[in-house]
Structures are given as structure tokens and as C-alpha cells.
Structure 1
Amino acid sequence: MAGGADPPDGPPDGTPDGTPEGLPGRDEDQDRPVVFDESFIRAARLQELSAHERMGDDTPAVRRRPGAEANDPGPVPDLDAAYEYAYDLHHRHHWRSSRRRSRGRRRRAGAARHAIGSRVGALILVLLVATVFAVAIHLGSRYPYQPPPDARAAPLRVTLVALAPTGPVSGGRPADLFARSPAAQYRPGAAGITLPPVRRTAHFTEGQVMAALDTAKAFLVRSALDPDTVTGGSTRPVRLLVDPDQFTQFDRSVESPSADGRHATSGWLIRFDPARVALADPGIRVRGTLQAAEASADVLEVTADHTYTYALRPAGPDAGPDAARDRASLFTVRREVRFHFDRDDLRMRRAELVTSHVQAGPVDCAADLSGALRPLLAGERPTSTTPPTADPFAGTPAAATPLCATLPTGAAPPQPQGRGATEP
């Protein structure tokens, strides 16, 4: 191989020895071009076979050149391996270059496809938004928005029926009276209000149904079984379980009751006139049923139908222990209450009272049941068993007309015979 030569115009500009500026210490031979002249080619000891010659499986990649033995300085170790190594390096370099070019083409193609896909996606999104907007305008023009109905609780509707006995009221000891009456098998207090099997409905879970039944039972216990409420005590425990939309109606019914079908105290709770009667036995007997069903997809309805039996005695300073022992009498209330619960009521544990039907006796047929109840006690007789006259031209509300019915003989305990009997 011949050495390098300077260009015809001399060394390149830069340092005096021809080294380019900025590259100090660089060897001059490293910057000169490599020239393969004829003498170098003739001196080569190896010759690469042609493509046709290399087609054989066992054919070496190179062969010795003819006449190279004279100038052969010695054996060449593993020439085929050296050539194949160089050949592999060349092909590996070519493969890597091709792979980089292919990768670049794929990257450019992917970027182009991404750009096209982004444009198509944006166009589809615009069309979709326009379609939805057009449908909304169409529906709005054909079906204009209607505000939801007022969700306020409706007023409670109350029906009161007085039950008048046909003779004097039986009296005696509370235990004896209960034993001789249909309430003999009734359970006292809250234990007498049993819950039905709880099952989910189409739109309410089992837990929500259970919450409605629990709230209804709590209302019944506080409004008809609590001795303090029954004898004229505070009504706040009952009020806390009422829907706030019915507070005004509840307060007026308690403070200023009226037999107008809307504002009767007995529609909300059972209360006796504390100046006239007292409980002879705090264990109020009760039996009945609770049922839960859907009134709508948003309202759960619970119907409570129970019969309560109270042992009463005269109130006052002259009513001593003997009055409780020998002068007690039973008073029965049949009460059917229908509750509604929306999801807010279920969450807040409160109830909306829809209807309340009350039958109570023994009372006088002309008795006013809208306020505190005034039952007939042991030995007393009704002054009238005929309902009062109702004038259709009077202009009073139809719901204010008193209702009266006869208390069946079997609904009251029979008069005891012999010692301990109460004289009429």
C-alpha cells in the first residue's frame, strides 16, 4: 500500500504542519486519503471468489492468488474465518442500516396514519355533537319540559267512628277484665306490634323496606302505647316522626282540634282527657298487622291495622287503690293508619301520614272524638245510641259529620257475677 500524498496546492490551511486548527496533536498520516494502487492489488495473497463460485456449500469464501507463493512470508492463519468475520461485519452493518431506514419509514407512516385518524376522529366527534344537539332541539320542541309535581306531603285525612254500648259498661279488676275480653291473648306494649317478613320490592331494597316498617312501628308505639302520651303528656316524641310538611297540621290538630276530617287529635295519636280518666294498668294490650308495598317507584307504603285495649279508671283525688282494683273498665280503639315513605323519609326516619281511620268505644254516640277521648267508665251508660242529625244544607264540611256505631256485646267483657260486680 502506497503512502498518502499532499494535495497539489500544498497542505491545508491551519497550522504550519498542516494539522487543522482545533485538533492539536493529530498525526498527519491520519488525515491523508488511503490509496489502493496497482502494486497493492498485485501483492494481495487472497482473492474473493465470484458469486457463481460461492454457490457451493463447502466452497471457501476466498482462495490464494496464483503466484503469491513466491512472495509468501508464511502461512496465513485461518484466512476463511478472517474473511467471513469481515463479511459478517459488512452484512451486519448493511442490515442495521436497512433496519433503521425501515424503522424510519414505519415511523413516518405511523405519524401520517395518526394524523389522518385524528382528523377523522375530530370530524366524527363534531358530527356526533351536532346530531345530539339536533335531537335535543327536536325533542324539546315536541315535548317541552314540565316541572316535576310538588313533592310536598299531602294533608292527613281522618275518619272517626264512635262506638256506643247498648248497656252499662262492665267494671272490675284489670287482669280479670282482660281475661274475659277478646284482648286476653293480646301482648302488652311494643311486643304486640310485630313486623312481617321483610322482602325487597321492585324499586326499594330490603334495608329500605325494613327502615319503613321500623319507623311505622316506632310511630305506633309513641302515639298509642306510650303511657305519657296517652295520659296527656308531651307530643314531641310523636311529632319528631312526622314529615316536616305536616308539622302545621299536626300542631293545629293537637292545640285546636276540629272534627273537619283534617285536624282531629285522634288521627295522629290516642289521648284521654287526663282530668277525667287515668290508666288502671300501664300494660296496653295490642294486636294487628303491618304490611309494606310500593305505592309508586318513588314511594313505599306501609299500612298498619291494630286494635288497642286500655284498662282505665276514674281520675281525681278520690280515686284510690280500690278504684284501680275494682272500678277499672276496658276501652278499645281500632286504628288503621296508612304511611308513605319517599327516599328522604327513609333516610331521615320519618313518616308521611296519608289516612287514619279510628273506631273507639265505649263512648256516647254524640261524643266528639276529635280531641281528647272521653270514654264511658265502669257502670256508665250512653245517653244516646242514635247518631246525631246531619243537615246537608248546613254548609259544614261533610267530613265533620259525626259517625256512630253500636259496640257489639262480644267486644266488651261480660258483667262479672257475684262479689266484685259493679252496680250500674
Structure 2
Amino acid sequence: MGDPREPPEGTPDGGSGNEDEYRSVVFDESFVRAARIQELSARERLGGHYPRAVRPRVFLGPFGSLPRQAVALLLLVAMAFAAAVYFGVSSPHRLTAAPTGNQLTVSLVALSPVSPVAAVADTKNPFAALPSGYADGSAGFGVPAPSATEHFTKAEVTRALDVAQSYLTAADLSPAVLVQGETGEVRSLITPGEQAQYDQSINNARDDQHHAATGWLVRFDPGQVALASDVVKVTGTMQVTEVDTGTLEVTTDHTFVYALRPAGTESPVLVSLFSVRRELRLEFDRADIGAGHLRVVDAVEQAGPTTCGTPLADHFQPVLATRGPVPAAPPASPAPVNPGDHAHPAWQLCGVLG
């Protein structure tokens, strides 16, 4: 009998029969995946879009054995990562973000009286002796007519001036802030990048040029001082300029005069006047303008009558008129300073109230 493995008709001419040199080759999965060509699927052959029955395989190195979906997913992840890196480096917000941290710099100047503080003559009209030019409250702000700047529209300038007025009203005119310890309204107008510094100044005021509560607002110790009138007299000016293409600056220079009396006293009372000059530099970027916030950059303040050396960082501490014997007059000039004494800050300033 013939070999059962051979065809009944015998080995075809030109065939190799049992001696086929490729009979030992095993066409396993790795062999198929490594092939340079790939047979079309039945669906692709029926579609008639391919002129040949096979197509070349794209060589992807170690990724060639992965399914198409996995390769596509890897490509998408790579593209998303590259986009994130690109936009993270080149984003304009990264270049123009508002500064954060200790932005406010404060200079406090105590003004010492040259004679005992006298009470006002008319308690019903405590500001009668003031010179002309003072107005009631915000009427004395001297707000300029808004106009467009080179890089800011009239609407943006108007908005910045409105926010600046709101800040001055809350920080310098509000009885709740002046003598009741309210701080939230002022905080709501400050840009978020400065709110941590503001909180530190309110909760732990210190005379280090950055954390004086009185650099942000005017306030008096309610245990010592009360308002004799809710009216505050104001005179001063406001100016608008550009710092750069993305920053608007509002500079304010105002003198506020308060009618004060000792806390807990009953009528008849002695009323004294206390003056605070505040020169502020306020900055706005477009995000601040849109959100109704401002950045307080500098505050230079003169306050009196008060005694030299009195801490002013937490509250202003006025020298008030008193009854009884006339107290001795304070020194007519600031006390001498010993440069070797490091118990007091080097920037502590004092002047004479004129």
C-alpha cells in the first residue's frame, strides 16, 4: 500500500511530498504578527476598495503587536500630554498673573501735639473750625471724570474708580469699621492674592511695614474711643494712570477728620478732632476690575494728635481733650532716637502736629 499521507494520485509533479522543507515550520501567532503583509478581511474584500488581496503592515517596532485601539489610545494620551505641557508653559495667564503675598507696604507717622488738646467749642457742630475745602464723607473724595486710557476703556476706568470709592467708604468712613471692629466689608474688596496678608494684619497686627491693620483701614479701640458724630469730613484727590498695558493705578491722597469722645462717657462730653491723612496706591488688573477687587500696594499715613512711640499698628490711639487740670504739654518735638536701641523698629516715624 502507498503512504496514507500521500494523495491517491501520487505526489504532484514539482511537489516535494513528504520531504517538504517547510513542513516543520509552525505558523504560530508570533509568526503571523511578524508578517510584513496582512491579508484583507472578508468585509474589506467585499467592499472592493482595495485592488489587491493583501496590504503591507505598518512596522511599529515593539508596538506592532498591540491592537489598533491600544495604539490609538497611546497616541491620544501622548498628544494630550504634549498639549498640556505646551499650554502650561505658554499660557498668558502664567505671565500676567496678579502678584501674591506681602504686597502692601505701610508707613505710619505719628503726629504729636505741641500743646494740650482742646475740646471743640460746639459739640453739635464739631467741625465748625475746619478750613474750607472739607466735605461730608465721599463728597470729599475728589473723584476725577473717568476717561479711557491707552490700554483701558472708559468703562474699565469707571469700574476701577467705583471700586476705589467703595474701598475708601468702607475703610475710612464706616462707623462699623471705625469703632465696632468690622473688617469683612473691606476684605471683600481686596484681591484674593492679598487676603492672607490682610487677615494676618487684622488678627496679629504688628509694625513691620507689612502687617499694620491701620494700613488697610482706619479704626479706633472701642474700649477707649467712641464717635461723637457719624459724619467724617474729607478733602483730597484721586488720580488714574497706567502702570503697564495690563495694570491700572488709582492714587488717592485724602485727609479724614473724625469727631471723637472718650468711650463710655455721658453728656455733656468733651469732643476732640482727630486727623488721618492717607495716601494710597491702588492697582487693578483686568481680572480685578471684572471681579470688583483692588490691590493695595502702598499706604503712607499721618495721624494725630497722638503721642510719639504709641503703637499705631492695631488701632489709632488719639490724645483726647480731658476735664480737670490742664495736663502738661507734650514735647514740642519728637523724642530723641538712639540708633543703637533695637527695641524699636528703624522705620518708626514721628512728627509734630501743625
1:252-331 maps to which residues of 2 (within 5 A)?
Answer: 252-316=200-264, 319-323=265-269, 327-331=270-274
The alpha-carbon deviation at position 204 of structure 1 amounts to 0.1
The alpha-carbon deviation at position 395 of structure 1 amounts to 8.9
1:233 aligns with 2:181: yes
Give the AA of the match of 1:347.
G
Q: Distance in 2 between matches of 1:356 and 1:240?
A: 18
1:188-199 maps to which residues of 2 (within 5 A)?
Answer: 188-199=136-147
Give the AA of the match of 1:148.
L
Contact 2:278 2:300 in 1 (8 A): yes
Aligned residue in 2 for 1:179:
128
Q: Distance in 1 between matches of 2:114 and 2:215?
A: 26
Question: For structure 2, which runs of at least 5 residues remain unmatched after alignment?
Answer: 1-88
Aligned residue in 2 for 1:167:
115
Query: Percent identity of the aligned residues?
Result: 39
Q: Distance in 1 between matches of 2:205 and 2:344?
A: 16
Aligned residue in 1 for 2:348:
402
3-state secondary structure, aligned to 1:301: strand
Aligned residue in 2 for 1:370:
313
Q: Distance in 2 between matches of 1:388 and 1:297?
A: 46
Distance 1:387 1:355, change over 3 A: farther
The alpha-carbon deviation at position 321 of structure 1 amounts to 2.0
- 1:336 aligned residue (274, 279, 283): 279
Task: Kindly name which structure, 1 or 2, has the bigger radius of gyration based on alpha carbons.
Answer: 1
Distance 1:251 1:296, change over 3 A: same
Q: Distance in 2 between matches of 1:164 and 1:340?
A: 32
Q: Distance in 2 between matches of 1:176 and 1:395?
A: 43
Contact 2:111 2:306 in 1 (8 A): yes
Aligned residue in 2 for 1:248:
196
The structure with more helix, counted as a fraction of residues: 1
Q: Distance in 2 between matches of 1:187 and 1:340?
A: 26
Give the AA of the match of 2:247.
V
Cα root mean square deviation, aligned: 2.2
| CA deviation vs aligned residue, 1:337-387 (integer Å, no higher than 9, x gap) | 100000000000010000000100000012111111110001466644424
Distance 1:222 1:381, change over 3 A: farther
Aligned residue in 2 for 1:21:
none
State TM-score, norm by structure 2: 0.68
Q: Distance in 2 between matches of 1:371 and 1:278?
A: 16
Distance 1:288 1:393, change over 3 A: same
1:18-167 maps to which residues of 2 (within 5 A)?
Answer: 148=95, 151-153=98-100, 155-167=103-115
Question: For structure 1, which runs of at least 5 residues remain unmatched after alignment?
Answer: 1-143, 409-424
Contact 1:366 1:388 in 2 (8 A): no
The alpha-carbon deviation at position 242 of structure 1 amounts to 0.4
Give the AA of the match of 1:406.
V
* Higher RCO by CA contacts (8 Å cutoff, separation 6 or greater): 2
Distance 1:230 1:388, change over 3 A: farther
The alpha-carbon deviation at position 181 of structure 1 amounts to 2.4
Contact 1:157 1:262 in 2 (8 A): yes
3-state secondary structure, aligned to 1:159: strand
Contact 1:387 1:402 in 2 (8 A): no
Aligned residue in 1 for 2:152:
204
Contact 2:115 2:330 in 1 (8 A): no
Aligned length: 257
Contact 2:197 2:211 in 1 (8 A): yes
Q: Distance in 1 between matches of 2:350 and 2:168?
A: 24
